[in-house]
């Protein structure tokens, strides 16, 4: 069994992409045992992934002492290969302090991180900006695997969670929404009106989720709307997404996670380019995006999104039947 260490402490979207690459690598080369350095806030997600065997928890609030305590734990184990998926000074120092025979990093590493690599993966051909996942897939190539995705992400059993609020309505699983965003210019304010349209005109059940509480002033029939914002833990995130029919969200980590789990997604995009940060792959059978006019989310009307979504209800099954395009 070969020992592989992956360094990707954060963020949620980046960790999801890293897990997808790791899943692809292990599908082709099952002889790897994978360890992962991850921030404490994201540790539950990585720990529950079926492709990760061991985690080392990085506590950013621990300061310098905490950093060296972590690295003593890491250095107690010998790794055949260490991969720096993050490419920043902190992750560069982490890979420097490992006992790894090969230390491989990103081609676009910043803050001097590349000084600590033995090797650097090649950037995707063409030189143009690419989706972050396409760059990370190049780590597969340097380890002798094909740089392509292999199946949906899977997570360990969440049967202990009580998800009765995710029961179907009118025979259809609920639509899960993540209406928040860390960036104000990426946060669409039309989720409440869209939810009302979905409940009243399409007969759907809508569930909101997210870290921060967001009120919804719309009135709904009993059982048609559930607001879990402010009450969504990372432990429950994959189970929630797995019980959803669709996930509708801003440009965010939960959107990437839903796409990685092969749940149908509709991404709401404003100033960011969905070609570079949309649910991957954009031509996949279950991934869709809608971008606001001139990139301004204030110009995107809930009714327009609702009309687009109704069309997607007809398109998604056809696309899924045709199968996803294989990324190169």
Percentage with pLDDT > 70 across the chain: 95
Integer CA distances (angstroms), 154 to 22, 82, 302, in order: 12, 23, 33
In the structure, what pLDDT confidence band is assigned to residue 284 with cuts at 50, 70 and 90?
A: confident
Does the structure show a pLDDT above 70 at 277?
A: yes
Region label for 103, one of left (φ > 0), alpha (ψ between -120 and 50) or beta (otherwise): beta
Does the structure show a pLDDT above 60 at 38?
A: yes
Instruction: Work out the number of other CB atoms within 10 angstroms of the CB of residue 242.
Output: 17
Integer CA distances (angstroms), 257 to 16, 135, 324, in order: 6, 18, 17
Q: Rounded to an integer, what distance in angstroms lies between the CA atom of residue 111 and that of residue 276?
A: 22
Q: Which two tokens stand for residue 35?
A: 């360890």
37 prior amide bond cis, ω within 30: no
For 2-142, the fitting CATH number among 3.40.1010.10, 3.40.50.300, 3.40.50.2000, 1.10.760.10 is 3.40.50.2000
In the structure, what pLDDT confidence band is assigned to residue 160 with cuts at 50, 70 and 90?
A: low
The reply to whether domains 2-142 and 167-322 share a CATH topology is yes
What's the confidence (pLDDT) of residue 135?
Answer: 96
Q: Which SS3 state, helix, strand or coil, does residue 259 take?
A: helix
Instruction: Work out the number of other CB atoms within 10 angstroms of the CB of residue 160.
Output: 7
What's the confidence (pLDDT) of residue 317?
Answer: 63
According to CATH, the topology of domain 167-322 is Rossmann fold (3.40.50)
Q: Rounded to an integer, what distance in angstroms lies between the CA atom of residue 190 and that of residue 21?
A: 34
Q: Rounded to an integer, what distance in angstroms lies between the CA atom of residue 12 and that of residue 81?
A: 23
Does the structure show a pLDDT above 90 at 9?
A: yes
What's the confidence (pLDDT) of residue 328?
Answer: 28
Integer CA distances (angstroms), 241 to 42, 203, 208, in order: 16, 20, 11
What's the confidence (pLDDT) of residue 287?
Answer: 95
Does the structure show a pLDDT above 50 at 226?
A: yes
Q: State CA 94 to chain mean position distance.
A: 23
Q: Which SS3 state, helix, strand or coil, does residue 281 take?
A: coil
What's the confidence (pLDDT) of residue 318?
Answer: 52
DSSP string, 62-95: GHHHHHHHHHHHHHTSEEEEEEESS-SHHHHHHH
- Please state the domain extents for the chain: 2-142, 167-322
Instruction: Supply the pTM of this predicted model.
Output: 0.92
Segment 286-297 shows an average pLDDT of: 96
Residue carrying structure tokens 């199968």: 323
What's the confidence (pLDDT) of residue 322?
Answer: 44
157 vs 235: which has the higher pLDDT = 235
DSSP string, 110-178: -TTGGGG-SEEPPPPTTSS---HHHHHTHHHHHTTS-SS--S---B---TTS--GGG--BTTBPPEEEE
229 vs 127: which has the higher pLDDT = 229
Segment 155-180 shows an average pLDDT of: 84
Integer CA distances (angstroms), 326 to 146, 283, 287, 323, in order: 12, 9, 14, 9
DSSP string, 161-184: S--GGG--BTTBPPEEEE---SSG
Over residues 90-141, the pLDDT tens digits come to 999 999 999 999 999 999 999 999 999 999 999 888 878 899 999 999 999 9
| Average confidence score pLDDT of the chain | 92
What's the confidence (pLDDT) of residue 159?
Answer: 54
Instruction: Work out the number of other CB atoms within 10 angstroms of the CB of residue 274.
Output: 18
Residue 210 gets which letter from DSSP? -
């Amino acid at each position: 069994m070969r020992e592989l260490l992956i360094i990707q402490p954060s963020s949620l979207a980046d960790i999801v992409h890293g897990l997808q690459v790791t899943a692809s690598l292990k599908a082709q080369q099952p002889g790897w045992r994978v360890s992962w350095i991850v921030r404490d806030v994201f540790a539950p997600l990585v720990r529950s992934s079926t492709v990760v065997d061991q985690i080392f928890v990085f506590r950013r609030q621990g300061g310098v002492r905490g950093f060296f305590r972590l690295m003593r734990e890491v250095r107690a184990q010998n790794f055949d290969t260490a991969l720096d998926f993050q490419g920043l000074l902190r992750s560069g120092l982490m890979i420097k302090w490992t006992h790894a025979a090969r230390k491989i990093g990103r081609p676009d590493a910043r803050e001097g991180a590349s000084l600590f690599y033995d090797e650097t993966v090649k950037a995707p051909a063409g030189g143009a900006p690419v989706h972050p996942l396409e760059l990370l897939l190049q780590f597969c190539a340097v380890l002798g695997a094909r740089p392509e995705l292999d199946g949906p992400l899977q997570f360990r059993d969440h049967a202990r969670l009580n998800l009765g609020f995710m029961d179907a309505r009118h025979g259809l699983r609920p639509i899960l929404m993540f209406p928040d965003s860390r960036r104000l210019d990426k946060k669409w304010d039309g989720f409440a009106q869209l939810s009302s349209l979905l409940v009243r005109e399409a007969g759907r059940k809508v569930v909101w989720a997210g870290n921060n509480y967001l009120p919804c002033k719309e009135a709904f029939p009993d059982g048609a709307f559930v607001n879990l914002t402010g009450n969504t833990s990372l432990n429950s995130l994959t189970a929630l997404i797995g019980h959803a029919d669709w996930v509708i969200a801003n440009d965010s980590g939960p959107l990437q996670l839903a796409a990685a789990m092969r749940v149908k997604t509709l991404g709401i995009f404003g100033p960011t380019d969905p070609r570079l940060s949309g649910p991957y792959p954009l031509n996949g059978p279950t991934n869709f995006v809608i971008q606001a006019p001139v990139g301004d989310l204030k110009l995107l009307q809930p009714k327009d999104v609702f009309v687009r979504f109704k069309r997607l209800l007809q398109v998604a099954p056809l696309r899924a039947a045709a199968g996803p395009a294989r990324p190169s």
